[in-house]
Structure 1
Amino acid sequence: MQLTNSQNKVVEKIVSKYDIENKKIIEFQAPTGSGKTFMILNVIDKLIQQNPHEKFCFVIITLSAAKLPKQMHFNFLEYKQYLINKDLEIEHITSPSSSDKSKKFNKDKDRHYQILAKQNKILIFGNQSFGQKRIFSEEGIIDSFLSQIENEEFKLVYIRDEAHLGGEIDEKKIKFLDLDSNANIDKLLAKTKDASVHYEVAFQKNAHFIIKMTATPKGHNELISLTENDLKEDDILLLKKNGIYNEKLDEIQEETITNKQILEVACKKFKFIKDRYADVDKEPTLKNINPAMLIQVNNKDASNKEIFDANINEILEVLKAHNLNYVKYFGEDDIDSNIRLNSYSLNAISKNSSDVDVVIFKLGPATGWNIPRACMLVQLRNVSSASLSIQTLGRIKRNPNPNEEAKQNSISFNYYYYSNVSETRKNHINIFLKDQYKNETFKVGYIDKQEIQKMIQNENYVNELIRTLDINLIKDEYEKYKNEYQKYGYIPIYTEHFGKKKVVTDKISNSIDLEIFKENFLSKNKMYFSSGTIQAIENFKYNDFKRQNTFGYDDFSINLFWLIIAKNYLSQIKDIFYTKVNKETNSNKAVYKIKTNHLLPERTDFFVDDLRKHMINLPFNEYAYLNKNEEGLANNQYFDSATEEKFISLLKDYEVIELTDEYKIKVWTKNPVFQGIFLEYFNSDNEILKAYPDFIFRIIDKNDEKKYHDFYIEIKSLEDIDEKKTKMLIKSYKRYINKKEINLFEDNNFNITLLLLKLNKNKTNDVQYYGASFNEEINNILNSIELNAKNSGIGKLKDFFKLSILNN
């Protein structure tokens, strides 16, 4: 067993980061199934080999769940025969609880626990070894160990496995946030009360070299990564390469399908795969390997226990009908199976020769689980996780026999998954706000919901809602729901896309479900329904139905009546609501408001499909965010579209962001979506949403930095794919600006321009301008008919920047 070429490159790179003189923290990311355990053991081996005189001690902390420390210890012992240093001492250390000690060791009162550092020794801990009521914590055993490290001048190499699930701790909660300064760490140690957090901080304080193995790097430190594309270049293929999504689901005739139908299709496909694996002539490298299907389920929600159990029972019935052997593994104390086995442990059912066809599992108990023979994943709606995680999909991507070269068309290269979400191979990017902009505050726009509630609490609004209700339509809907219930045993409420099909995701099976639906509906839409409005609508149901005697008003519950309202009248009610608010707003009631003191997020992360696409180097001091993964002067930033990319190019080509005689740009940035500066607005469905302008610019007088003006800029293509949203945004911009006569700002500083620019992708410099500004001259230009009659180009933005300072 040896490292592949790509694995070896990563190992060498990690080892090269070790600095004899200086403390170093790095992050290490690799796909599930890529051999991280073997790689990290080789890192240890090479550190010792290349630094023979260093007094190393290695500490590895991983999650205590699913016996991960024990599994890692077993793997290390198995792998060390392939190292240069084959005699490495490796120990898995567990801390008994203090309560156990009083019971179990009552006869041995003088028992003494001690952890001693030895040169090149590897110590493996579970993270729960340092919690409350643990002897290691209560008797100061770890403190003594760390004192020995310091006093005897060991170089502690601290390796944090699954760092994204426990090694990254928020300083604001008195926890650790990758601090390099020991002074800051000492301060945190003094303030930290939680025992497990205390020792996380203590290990990182005393470590000379820290390696954080993580699936989702935070970007605080230098990242060394191994990608699936890297692995594909190896002669030895560690991962399957062909993902096949929702195969055969298209052959189901119905548009809306059920979980049972999905599982039926998956089982039929899996039985075909089983036969192919067993065909030694076609698949010689799969001899004696039995494939496995994995069905991932969520942790049981106590409030939905009956539904959850019913769904599990349905799964088991389908598996039995297809004569598939299953194990339901929800933890060591919650296992069920339809076959007798010598062992039901994860290790036993993961072996290539296991007779178990299907494993139904939960994420928690199965953390860190390796089952290379797994080739199919099934995620069912309302049963499985709502997302398709990298780790979950990684369980079925391992090559079950990487040491033998399979035929080019071998099924061993395929993995199959059934899910509502298809796989995406995205790159995780972290960017950080530069220190000089961390205290820079900005304004955000919001719609005052309390003012809106005042507007709709009147008789005219309620009467207009009542007039929209049609008894005959309600009667027809009642009959429809009654027929659906008689046919299916439930009323389907919501469906979601499952690939190209739809699957029922929410249904009403009884009166309790109906009551819950009503409460959730009114809670979600409380903007449109005051208590008085609710009472008036319910009175209509009781009084008008009884008076008109269309059919017995007691024939169906008030909760079913609200279901009919939700499904048939919500859109009309929103229209009435918006018309009312719009009318009142025009009479200068302050609905659109602006507040100050909003900070940009200090770190933001996102995913990009292609690292080469929509990437621009922005090495400007005035640009707010820094990509720390870049070396030298590069500051590569990623943008959402070619239109945004063109906007940046125009700024650079026409020197819009250069210093002028009239102004300079203090800071500008791509606005982080969901975390950055926002403006609330009504969308075309009359719902209040947040819009995050694409770019933020702060223009200042070069002679007086206290004089500034902010530009929030939304970028659109001339071929706008959502013209309705664009119109609503522009409308909201004008509403915010038109409220100047009302005291909206705490600082009374009306220094903001809201712009929407449309770029013509077919012309070099063709830009249209829309929006509003508190700067009167800019606002007049934006309102003029002539503005977009001819091509203004990006130079008009430069003019606006000048005007914002000259007329401030």
Structure 2
Amino acid sequence: MIGIKLKNFQEKAVDWLYQNTELENKEAIILQAPTGSGKTIILVAYIEKYLDYHRENTVFCWFSPGKGNLETQSKEKMEKFCPQLQTGTIDDVLLGGFRPGSTYFINWEKITKKGNIAISDTERTNLYEHIARAHNKGLQFVCIIDEEHLNDTSKANDVIKALASRHEIRVSATPVAKALGEFYSINEVDVINEGLITRAMYVNFDLKAGTIESIDTETDLLIEKAVSLREQIAKEYISIGADIRPLVLVQFPNLNDTLIERVEEKLNALGYSYENGLVASWFSVETKEDKNYNSKKLGKINLGDEGKENYITRPNATPVFLLFKQALATGWDCPRAKILVKLRENMSEKFEIQTLGRLRRMPMAKHYDNDLLDNSYLYTFDEKYKLEALKIGAYETQRLFLKEKPREVELVKEIRNADLPTTGEVEIIKYLYEFLKTKYSLVNNFNENAKKLENNGYIFGKNILSSYLKGKATTLKDLEIQENMSHESINYEVDTHKHGMDLRHEIDALKKYTGLDYSSTRKILSRLFLKNTSRKYKLLSLTLKEFYAFIINNKDKIKDVFIEFSGQHIKNKQITLSIVKTEIFKIPLEENYKYRSDAKSNKVLESNAYEKYTVQMIDSAFRSTSERLFERYCDASDNVDFLYKNGDSGSQYLSIMYSDGFGRTKLFYPDYIIRLQSGEIWLIETKGGESNGQDKNIDVQVENKFKEFKRFANEYGYNFAFVRDRDEELYYNNIEYKHSLSEDEWKPLDEII
């Protein structure tokens, strides 16, 4: 390599990769490289070393996610540090095929998606033809899958299979959990010791929100703190003669233009604007939810020209604030970024290692022995702060084919009926009113009700209460477990104008539990708790400010109430056959099952409806205790002809209609179809059992499902049962659902199977 000397930990990683790819082992090779550790440099150095010995018959395919032009960045680094190596793109492959000794940098979106950048169907066919020709010439592929957690799609998998690579190297700061293969992790502390990333990350550094008066919004406070800290860091850089302009990243939870404009206005008031070049933005549509916002903020402002001196990633670029949503999370390098302000829209926001990693790089790959410069900073009021790797499915699957006998089975299944009448707002208010009165022993006295609710943990008053994390974390793992972190409190009086958006956010978060729109959900809450609305079905009489604070402060308790209420069975709401749509169900001829490839046993469960269904497919990683016990029980029973494991959702599976406490009609999918040697058909739903007298069932809809399951079985002449476990033994119930397995309704499973 030219112009760069590898750090000690980087050399070790290169050696490990080379040693493992010299072996004939076909398992995937997984490299976990913390953001800022120089994983691209490690991979380039490894390729250079490997091709020194295998140039004549080897082709490298380097796959990168579509966001952030990561494949271009990687290609440019190889050309800069190893100019003697041949590089190419997908376009080069389509024009001339694969050349031995070359590395092709390929954007996944070009080969897996539709749109402007994607190759055509004809070109995709040509790609497979070029792969076949390469194999015919005796060329061997080595695949590098960069940011591997982002490439889990069937089309991506098809390309990987076609390449039939000699080795597959998956690399990320956040590898998929439980992925199988040879695993190597670069220690984050080693990267810190080499000066490549900051010594630590401070959360809410020097923030004393509880002592500051007249806080208009959390957002304003965080922006003000970030501005102040950025100015201090900038002065320190100047004092040591470093030409670095520290950058503040402001991350938004979604494309809500109102929140974006609030931040823009705040920055403008502090002297930072698009007009003077100090503020930049980068907003793009990433999800379906993003599209629904119809944001007018899409695009890039003041980012400069990539690769040019004015580009925002340059150490002395003009912008010092960058507003964004998600686009920076993958492959975007900007070592001058020192501060992240993470705004929230509700308490469920999560932080991702990829996003936080943007803050970890040191601008000049060295420490200054200056605490202000050698650390990075995060400001947020996210009370339920969580840091976790992206998880996008990690288990291998195997396609199985149906045996002959199960093909005979035909059953009735119920499907969604869009014409079903829904429960009205007034009816829901009535039932919810009665539910809350019973749950909390409420009466027809508002003051008395307030005392009872307060005794149950509800917060009253005109102040919004919150807390935030504060402390220092050396590694990202420290942030995850929150060691050395304290919770600081903050509260401020409601301003119905300024906190209107906050109230809407919380009601928007609650509406998914009601199945209603924002307007209807707010109407229900207002009817129950707000003064100056109809007294019928009213439990509290709060002023408008008190109502705002009540909903915002008690959102989690209200959410739990909604979830519990949804599990109630409304009288006279049992589904009748006249309003149900039905279809004929047949067991699918083929099915993909997750399996544990490194399991100790691969014993075939002969009772299963599919060929080659093994114990690897009932691993505890993706099957409950009751499911595993039940399948083993059936396999050991001489009475079982076959067992079919039904899917959890989808039109190809057996489904039954039920309704919840809000009157919403839903489908549930019983776990198993069993045919006994006698020809009897049994439909079985397994649920969490009991442990030390504690109910392990977590399904709040269990009673609603049981009643409709019984109705369904009676309507169509099937046998049914719920099955639960206690002390490794299984019990069934098809009479009336009881939570305790000590009740007489629960009987030993061997009475029916």
Per the normalisation by structure 2, the TM-score is 0.60
- Contact 2:345 2:505 (C-alpha < 8 Å) held by counterparts: no
Closer, same or farther: CA 456–591 of 1 in aligned 2, 3 Å: farther
The residue that corresponds to 1:40 in the other structure is 43
- What CA deviation, in whole Å up to 9, does each residue of 1:201-227 have, x standing for no partner? xxx47x665545456656898555554
Please tell me the residue identity of whatever aligns with 1:247: F
The residue that corresponds to 2:227 in the other structure is 267
SS of 2:361's equivalent? coil
SS of 1:263's equivalent? helix
The residue that corresponds to 1:330 in the other structure is 282
- What CA deviation, in whole Å up to 9, does each residue of 1:522-566 have, x standing for no partner? 9985669999xx99x99xx9x999xxxxxxxxxx9xx99x99999
The residue that corresponds to 1:583 in the other structure is 571
The residue that corresponds to 1:800 in the other structure is 748
Unaligned runs of 5+ in 2: 284-297, 438-442, 447-461, 470-486, 535-542, 609-614
- Contact 1:94 1:126 (C-alpha < 8 Å) held by counterparts: no
> Which residue of 703, 721, 725 corresponds with 1:752?
721
The residue that corresponds to 2:205 in the other structure is 247
The residue that corresponds to 1:712 in the other structure is 686
Structure 1 residues 470-619: aligned runs within 5 Å: 499=469, 500=487, 525=514, 582-584=570-572, 602=592
Deviation of 1:13 after TM superposition, in Å, equals: 4.8
- Contact 2:567 2:704 (C-alpha < 8 Å) held by counterparts: no
> Which residue of 157, 181, 190 corresponds with 1:177?
157
The residue that corresponds to 1:610 in the other structure is none
Between the aligned partners of 1:456 and 1:235, the Cα distance in structure 2 is: 61
Structure 1 residues 134-533: aligned runs within 5 Å: 149=134, 152-162=137-147, 164-165=149-150, 167-170=151-154, 175-178=155-158, 204=163, 211=169, 213=171, 222-223=180-181, 225-227=183-185, 229=187, 232=190, 236=194, 238-240=196-198, 242-253=200-211, 257-274=217-234, 288=242, 290=244, 292-298=246-252, 301=255, 304-305=256-257, 307-318=259-270, 320=272, 326-330=278-282, 334-336=300-302, 348-352=311-315, 357-364=320-327, 367-382=330-345, 386-402=349-365, 410=371, 414-419=375-380, 420=382, 422-425=385-388, 430-432=394-396, 435=399, 453=422, 499=469, 500=487, 525=514
The residue that corresponds to 1:51 in the other structure is 54
Between the aligned partners of 1:579 and 1:707, the Cα distance in structure 2 is: 28
Deviation of 1:379 after TM superposition, in Å, equals: 1.3
Matched, 1:742 2:739: no
Closer, same or farther: CA 755–394 of 1 in aligned 2, 3 Å: same
- Contact 1:91 1:123 (C-alpha < 8 Å) held by counterparts: yes
Please tell me the residue identity of whatever aligns with 2:338: C
- What CA deviation, in whole Å up to 9, does each residue of 1:293-342 have, x standing for no partner? 432345984xx545532332223434649xx99341428974349xxx99
- Contact 1:169 1:177 (C-alpha < 8 Å) held by counterparts: yes
Closer, same or farther: CA 401–423 of 1 in aligned 2, 3 Å: farther
- Contact 1:755 1:772 (C-alpha < 8 Å) held by counterparts: yes
Closer, same or farther: CA 780–528 of 1 in aligned 2, 3 Å: same
Closer, same or farther: CA 665–271 of 1 in aligned 2, 3 Å: farther
Matched, 1:121 2:117: no
Between the aligned partners of 1:463 and 1:374, the Cα distance in structure 2 is: 49
Deviation of 1:416 after TM superposition, in Å, equals: 1.9
Closer, same or farther: CA 336–670 of 1 in aligned 2, 3 Å: same
Closer, same or farther: CA 430–601 of 1 in aligned 2, 3 Å: farther
Closer, same or farther: CA 65–751 of 1 in aligned 2, 3 Å: closer
Please tell me the residue identity of whatever aligns with 2:720: N
- Contact 2:567 2:703 (C-alpha < 8 Å) held by counterparts: no
Between the aligned partners of 1:139 and 1:727, the Cα distance in structure 2 is: 50
Please tell me the residue identity of whatever aligns with 1:749: Y
Please tell me the residue identity of whatever aligns with 1:713: K
Between the aligned partners of 1:3 and 1:602, the Cα distance in structure 2 is: 44
Closer, same or farther: CA 21–4 of 1 in aligned 2, 3 Å: same
Matched, 1:784 2:744: yes
Between the aligned partners of 1:79 and 1:129, the Cα distance in structure 2 is: 26
- Contact 2:236 2:373 (C-alpha < 8 Å) held by counterparts: no
Deviation of 1:89 after TM superposition, in Å, equals: 3.1
- What CA deviation, in whole Å up to 9, does each residue of 1:406-437 have, x standing for no partner? 76x95565332123263535595723455559
SS of 1:57's equivalent? strand
Closer, same or farther: CA 728–42 of 1 in aligned 2, 3 Å: closer
Between the aligned partners of 2:657 and 2:468, the Cα distance in structure 1 is: 32
Between the aligned partners of 1:161 and 1:227, the Cα distance in structure 2 is: 15
Between the aligned partners of 2:118 and 2:656, the Cα distance in structure 1 is: 53
SS of 2:85's equivalent? coil
SS of 1:267's equivalent? helix
Please tell me the residue identity of whatever aligns with 1:296: V
The residue that corresponds to 2:293 in the other structure is none
- Contact 2:569 2:704 (C-alpha < 8 Å) held by counterparts: no
Unaligned runs of 5+ in 1: 81-85, 96-112, 183-203, 281-286, 474-491, 546-555, 606-614, 626-631, 758-764, 788-798
- Contact 1:453 1:530 (C-alpha < 8 Å) held by counterparts: no
- What CA deviation, in whole Å up to 9, does each residue of 1:214-260 have, x standing for no partner? 56656898555554646648863544353322234454347985200
- Contact 1:5 1:234 (C-alpha < 8 Å) held by counterparts: no
The Cα RMSD (Å) is 7.3
Between the aligned partners of 1:353 and 1:395, the Cα distance in structure 2 is: 17
Deviation of 1:361 after TM superposition, in Å, equals: 4.0
- What CA deviation, in whole Å up to 9, does each residue of 1:247-306 have, x standing for no partner? 3445434798520012223333444445566676xxxxxx727473432345984xx545
- Contact 2:350 2:385 (C-alpha < 8 Å) held by counterparts: no
Deviates more, 1:666-675 or 1:3-12: 666-675
- What CA deviation, in whole Å up to 9, does each residue of 1:369-425 have, x standing for no partner? 2122323211123599944222211101224455x5776x95565332123263535
- Contact 2:689 2:725 (C-alpha < 8 Å) held by counterparts: yes
Give the count of matched residue pairs. 658
Between the aligned partners of 1:463 and 1:735, the Cα distance in structure 2 is: 16
Q: Which has the larger radius of gyration?
A: 1
- What CA deviation, in whole Å up to 9, does each residue of 1:500-521 have, x standing for no partner? 55799x99759x9899999979
- Contact 1:592 1:736 (C-alpha < 8 Å) held by counterparts: no
- Contact 2:640 2:674 (C-alpha < 8 Å) held by counterparts: yes
SS of 2:327's equivalent? coil
The residue that corresponds to 2:78 in the other structure is 76
SS of 2:205's equivalent? coil
SS of 1:714's equivalent? coil
